[in-house]
């Protein structure tokens, strides 16, 4: 099995100089769906990282309290408030229509990041599953959306998707405990599960393993100082930005892992234990320049 070692060259084709006649949305419109009454940071971090990774626009869709908080973070963030404290059945039609509207306005350059901070109530998990079954845009499935998908993994078999689990979420999704296995064993299992689910999996770890079920790539950028809250949300946002501009899930997973890890390295050199996810976001521009 050929295993790709990811280097900065993965970014060369993605980040070409923009033509003089470029229009808004040529490089993507990203929807970030998530958040709940108690969790507002996750969608915001994904959105901010996506902007730094080059997407032209981000729309955050979240329950009202989370959306209102997010909108106050930065004038760059457009947050659409949904009624209630969590994603519920009443929101489904709205979510789907907003996704279709995004496809239209962006001339097809749209992707979705879903799951961060959404919560694991039965109703919310059901809404996430139903949403995934009805949309056709590329989607990054992260955090609580991975828990939802575990109940019916075949939901995403017909659409371009990237799942971004850490080892416990991978266990929830697949039933495979890989935490204590060798890298070689992890690689085989990730590839096998990606093939079974007809998706691309980015297993986060000291070495990130990315597979579309056929090919495998390894990312070795990163730092132990980014093993903290929010740095997975930034990865999801970067991956979403890349999908929105038309990068295929396997390549997007590789590039996102490289960018997030390298930005984490740069931030860790300065801050070590004091590093936060927003510090990582500020270093993204240096990685893609």
Bridge partner residues of 29 (DSSP): 57, 110
Task: Give, rounded to a whole angstrom, the gap between the first and last alpha carbons of the chain.
Answer: 33
Task: Supply the pLDDT for residue 2.
Answer: 87
Task: Supply the pLDDT for residue 60.
Answer: 98
Q: Do the domain assignments include residue 159?
A: yes
Q: Do the domain assignments include residue 12?
A: no
Count of beta carbons in the 10 Å neighbourhood of residue 129: 18
- Which of 261, 212, 233, 246 is CA-nearest to residue 118? 233
Task: Supply the pLDDT for residue 92.
Answer: 98
Q: Do the domain assignments include residue 184?
A: yes
Chain mean position to CA 151: 20
Tell me: is residue 56 an annotated ligand-binding position.
no
Helices and strands, counts by H and E, the chain: 10, 10
Inter-residue contact 166 to 209 (CB < 8 Å):
no
Chain mean position to CA 18: 24
Q: Do the domain assignments include residue 16?
A: no
Inter-residue contact 124 to 144 (CB < 8 Å):
yes
Q: Do the domain assignments include residue 259?
A: yes
When divided into structural domains, the chain yields a total of: 1
Tell me: is residue 166 an annotated ligand-binding position.
yes
Q: Which secondary structure element, helix H or strand E, spans residue 273, and what is its range?
A: none
Q: Do the domain assignments include residue 97?
A: yes
Inter-residue contact 31 to 56 (CB < 8 Å):
no
Q: Do the domain assignments include residue 254?
A: yes
Q: Do the domain assignments include residue 91?
A: yes
Tell me: is residue 237 an annotated ligand-binding position.
no
141 three-class SS: strand
CA distance 279 to 45: 11
- Please identify which residue in the block is written with the tokens 């078999």: 157
CATH of residue 132's domain is 3.40.1190.20
pLDDT tens, residue order, the chain (289 aa): 889 999 999 999 999 999 999 999 999 999 999 999 999 999 999 999 999 999 999 999 999 999 999 999 999 999 999 999 999 999 999 999 999 999 999 999 999 999 999 999 999 999 999 999 999 999 999 999 999 999 999 999 889 999 999 999 999 999 999 999 999 999 999 999 999 999 999 999 999 999 999 999 999 999 999 999 999 999 999 999 999 999 999 999 999 999 999 999 999 999 999 999 999 999 999 999 9
* Residue range of the domain that includes 250: 3-7+26-288
Tell me: is residue 86 an annotated ligand-binding position.
no
């Amino acid at each position: 099995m050929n295993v790709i070692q990811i280097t900065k060259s993965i970014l060369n084709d993605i980040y070409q100089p923009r033509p003089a006649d470029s229009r808004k949305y040529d490089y993507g419109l990203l929807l970030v769906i998530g958040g709940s009454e108690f969790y507002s940071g996750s969608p915001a971090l994904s959105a901010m990282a996506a902007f730094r990774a080059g997407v032209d626009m981000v729309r955050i869709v979240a329950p009202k309290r989370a959306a209102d908080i997010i909108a106050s973070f930065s004038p760059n963030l457009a947050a659409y408030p949904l009624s209630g404290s969590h994603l519920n059945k009443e929101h489904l039609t709205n979510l789907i229509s907003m996704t279709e509207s995004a496809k239209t306005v962006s001339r097809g350059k749209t992707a979705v990041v879903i799951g961060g901070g959404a919560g694991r109530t039965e109703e919310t998990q059901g809404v996430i599953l139903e949403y995934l079954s009805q949309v056709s845009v590329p989607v990054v499935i992260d955090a609580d959306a991975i828990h939802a998908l575990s109940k019916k993994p075949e939901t995403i078999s017909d659409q371009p998707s990237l799942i971004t689990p850490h080892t416990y979420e991978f266990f929830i999704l697949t039933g495979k405990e890989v935490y204590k296995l060798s890298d070689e064993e992890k690689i085989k299992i990730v590839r096998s599960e990606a093939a079974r689910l007809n998706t691309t999996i980015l297993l986060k770890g000291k070495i990130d393993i990315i597979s579309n079920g056929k090919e495998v790539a390894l990312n070795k950028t990163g730092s132990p100082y980014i093993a903290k809250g929010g740095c997975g949300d930034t990865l999801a946002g970067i991956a979403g930005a890349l999908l929105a501009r038309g990068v295929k899930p396997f390549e997007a997973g590789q590039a996102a892992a490289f960018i997030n890890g390298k930005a984490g390295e740069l931030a860790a050199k300065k801050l070590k234990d004091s590093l936060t996810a927003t510090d990582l976001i500020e270093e993204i521009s240096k990685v893609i320049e």
